[in-house]
Amino acid sequence: MNQFTDRKPTAAEAASQIKLMGFDVDGTLTDGGLYFGNEGEVMKRFSVFDGQGLRLLMDHGIKVIWITARSSAIVEKRAKDLGIYQLVQGCKTKLQAYDDIRQLLGLEWNECGFFGDDWPDYPVLQQVALAASTQHSPAAMKTTANWINTRPPGDGAARELCDFILSHQPGYQNPWEAT
């Protein structure tokens, strides 16, 4: 059941309280394409620009998790390279996986966000304060979301979200802005 009794917070209100940010992988951190060779999945394209955004979130103290229905050694390697707090692959119930991590960290739902693009992500988006989705998501998901990207998934969409979150975090100072 959704904990927001009167209204879901605006994206800016939610972003200011985020301590745990979750991401689906295919269709948010990648373009959603699956490339297969004779031996199975052979590649996924990740954006370095998106990776830098995730690093900025983590450097600010926000835990970043990835929860995906698929399993891939490629995703595992990219998550390890970035220092992602937790990767959950082959996940059938993303809400349960997210809730387990949230509880382990002692966080409330109003301190949580998720970026998802399709139906397996929908229950999580209904629960978190910052519900981020893509322009190509089903209409019901976009209605549930309080933030929708403008950049293409796998090519700046995650960075756009990371920058948005950081711009609303108390005490965040962009290291590249003049003081």
Which domains does the chain carry?
Answer: 11-168 (3.40.50.1000)
Q: Round to whole Å and give the CA distance between 85 and 79.
A: 8
Q: What's the sign of the alpha-carbon dihedral 179, 18, 123, 3?
A: negative
Percentage, residues of the chain above pLDDT 90: 84
Beta-carbon-side half-sphere exposure of residue 49 (alpha carbons within 13 Å): 13
Where is pLDDT greater, at 92 or 40? 92
Integer angstrom CA distances of residue 47 from 11, 25, 104, 119, 138: 24, 12, 30, 24, 24
Q: Which pLDDT belongs to residue 119?
A: 95
175 neighbors 56 (Cβ within 8 angstroms): no
Model pLDDT for residues 69-117, shown as the tens digit of each residue: 999 999 999 999 999 999 999 999 999 999 999 999 999 999 999 999 9
pLDDT-derived band at 35, boundaries 50, 70, 90: confident
Q: Which pLDDT belongs to residue 4?
A: 55
Q: In what order do the strands lie in the sheet with 147-148?
A: 86-88, 63-67, 20-23, 112-115, 130-133, 147-148
Arithmetic mean of pLDDT, 54-78: 96
Q: Which pLDDT belongs to residue 43?
A: 87
Q: State the pTM of this model.
A: 0.93
Q: Round to whole Å and give the CA distance between 44 and 31.
A: 8
Arithmetic mean of pLDDT, 129-143: 95
pLDDT-derived band at 1, boundaries 50, 70, 90: very low
Residue 14: pLDDT over 90: yes
